[in-house]
Amino acid sequence: MRNMTVKYLRENPRTGSFEYRRRVPEALKGLVSKREFLKVLGRNQSEAVMHYGREHERIEHLISLAKHGVTGLSPLEQSNRLAALLESWGADPISSGRDDNERTWRGEAASKLVDKYQDPLTGDYVGVPEKDGALAGALLAGVSKETLQVTVTDAFADYLAGNALRIPEQRKKQQQRFKRSEKNLIFVLGGDKPLQAVKRSDARAWRDMRMGQVSSATVKRERNDIGAVFNWAISEMDGAGDISPFKGMKLDTSSESRQDQRLPLDQVVIDKVYEGLKSHSDLLQIWTLMDYTGARLGEIRMLLVSEVVVDDINPHIIIQPRADRTIKGGGKGWSARKIPLVGAALRIASDITRGKHGSEYVFKHYAKEGGAGNLSTALNSRIREHTKNPKHVAYSLRHNMKDRLRFAEVFPEKAKAIQGHAYSAGQDSSYGGGYPLEQLKEALERALEGYREGKN
């Protein structure tokens, strides 16, 4: 398995195990006496990645506590932050202490926090700041053992911790997307609320607001994200209720078909982009491979040298899931495929693999974190120089390939095998081992007939 970069996850060269290792931030040095957080997460990278989210969340709770305290939070979030702090001190987070020694030092620490607010005449504590009172209470008795109501922000945070995508770049986009959904819902609710207090009328108010702001396709995606969060909380979190107000909620269907959301490029635009990329070798190579294979942008940018096979009787590229890259369709397998290399694509493939090792990325500059956005912006800006139609983007090349395969009367299932689309439903899709590369090559050559000659 190819190693992927996960922040703060390191392999111990002596033991081979993987550890969460992180220097204690400045904001925490008044609360945490050690210099770094260190915890073994697994014997191998896959095992460590599975446990990464919870440990990272615990440290983030500590950092949030140091920076922002425990005021203005939901009861559950306040409890989580205080529990993380007690655990970092080696204390039991749900009691006053495991033994007399622990109870003694916790009592002394609590006294230091609140004794200065005690009235010497009455013995009452007056004007204790909320953050000091909350911490003192946790020191003396631990955090609440009662089931706390789960709020919207609690549910979103727990969902992202439990369902974080493994690849850092994808995880960052996932977090940004869900944060937008959370923000829009809280705006409608007028603030953070317990999930059990969110009603069907709130869900309809959210829908009506968003339908007036964005496309129905965007509303549907956001509704699905919010629904996933509610369902996760109901299933995994005590105190979240037992039914989602978004379940079965109807949306107006879009008058625009999926086909119309992206349009194929006019040939003159494709030709002008080729001309404009002549001084940008990486972009020109990526553009050519997309144009001649119909592959997705992400599939091309993440290629390894070993996945570009030019010395086979039928040269091809291999699209497959890896530890550092997922592919559309996930475990269903229909996007995992081999695409023949013909014409200009074969010439480009020979050039980009010459003198390189199999485990190298073909396009190193765009395979790193942030590369997807940079590549998409770079290509779309070139396209925008020659067409102002917002439905004309780099992804449009897949629509061009679809049209070429259709006009060449390539059998639909064979065309799907080339482009990585799901096969048709029914028994026929469940039997057989797919198409031989030779047949896919013949189909692709027929689709590109009369086109590739002008490019070679």
Region class of 322: left (phi > 0), else alpha (psi between -120 and 50), else beta: beta
Compute the distance between CA of residue 47 and CA of residue 278 in angstroms, rounded to an integer: 45
Question: 7 falls in which pLDDT band (50, 70, 90)?
Answer: confident
Q: Which residue has the higher pLDDT, 225 or 328?
A: 225
What lies within 8 Å, CB to CB, of 150 at 6+ separation is 76, 158, 194, 195, 233, 237, 238, 239, 240, 241
How high is the pLDDT of residue 427? 47
DSSP-assigned states of every residue in 283-330: HHHHHHHHHHH---HHHHHT-BGGGEE-SSSS-EEEE--BTTB--TTG
Write the pLDDT tens digit of every residue in 390-449.
Answer: 899 999 999 999 999 999 999 999 999 999 887 765 445 544 457 899 999 999 999 998
How high is the pLDDT of residue 455? 53
What lies within 8 Å, CB to CB, of 16 at 6+ separation is 43
Compute the distance between CA of residue 359 and CA of residue 2 in angstroms, rounded to an integer: 8
pTM over 0.85: no
Count CB atoms within 10 A of the CB of residue 433. 5
Write the pLDDT tens digit of every residue in 220-239.
Answer: 999 999 999 999 999 988 87
Q: Minimal CA–CA distance to 338: which of 303, 377, 286? A: 303
How high is the pLDDT of residue 430? 47
Q: Which residue has the higher pLDDT, 284 or 114?
A: 284
Give yes or no for residue 343 having a pLDDT over 80. Answer: yes
- CA 399 from chain centre, in angstroms, equals 26
Give yes or no for residue 180 having a pLDDT over 90. Answer: yes
How high is the pLDDT of residue 433? 53
Pick from 56-65, 260-269, 347-356: least confident: 56-65
What's the mean pLDDT in 98-108?
Answer: 85
Give yes or no for residue 152 having a pLDDT over 60. Answer: yes
Average pLDDT of the chain to the nearest whole number? 84
Q: Which residue has the higher pLDDT, 87 or 5?
A: 87
Pick from 140-154, 327-341, 346-360: least confident: 327-341
How high is the pLDDT of residue 421? 84
Question: 250 falls in which pLDDT band (50, 70, 90)?
Answer: confident
Q: Answer whether CATH 1.10.443.10 is correct for domain 261-454.
A: yes
Q: Minimal CA–CA distance to 423: which of 412, 437, 438, 436? A: 412
Phi, then psi, of 258 in degrees rounded to 5: -60, -35
Region class of 244: left (phi > 0), else alpha (psi between -120 and 50), else beta: beta
How high is the pLDDT of residue 450? 59
Compute the distance between CA of residue 8 and CA of residue 388 in angstroms, rounded to an integer: 43
> What is the DSSP-derived secondary structure letter of residue 263?
-
What's the mean pLDDT in 45-54?
Answer: 80
Q: Minimal CA–CA distance to 89: which of 149, 158, 146, 139? A: 139
Residue 125: strand pairing partners: 118
Q: Where is mean pLDDT largest: 120-129, 234-243, 248-257, 295-304?
A: 295-304
**In the chain, domain spans:** 9-141, 152-255, 261-454
Compute the distance between CA of residue 338 and CA of residue 355 in angstroms, rounded to an integer: 23
Residues above pLDDT 90, as percent of the chain: 39
What lies within 8 Å, CB to CB, of 230 at 6+ separation is 155, 195, 240, 244, 245, 246, 247
Compute the distance between CA of residue 209 and CA of residue 18 in angstroms, rounded to an integer: 46
Q: Are 274 and 332 in contact (CB under 8 A)?
A: no
Q: Where is mean pLDDT largest: 5-9, 76-80, 267-271, 434-438?
A: 267-271
Give yes or no for residue 68 having a pLDDT over 70. Answer: no
Compute the distance between CA of residue 231 and CA of residue 227 in angstroms, rounded to an integer: 6
Residue type, 68: H
Question: 358 falls in which pLDDT band (50, 70, 90)?
Answer: confident
Residue/partner pairs of 125-129 with CB below 8 Å, 24 or more apart = none
Residue 403 token pair: 């049209």
CA distances from 42 to 4, 47, 173, 220 (A): 15, 5, 26, 38
Compute the distance between CA of residue 402 and CA of residue 315 in angstroms, rounded to an integer: 21
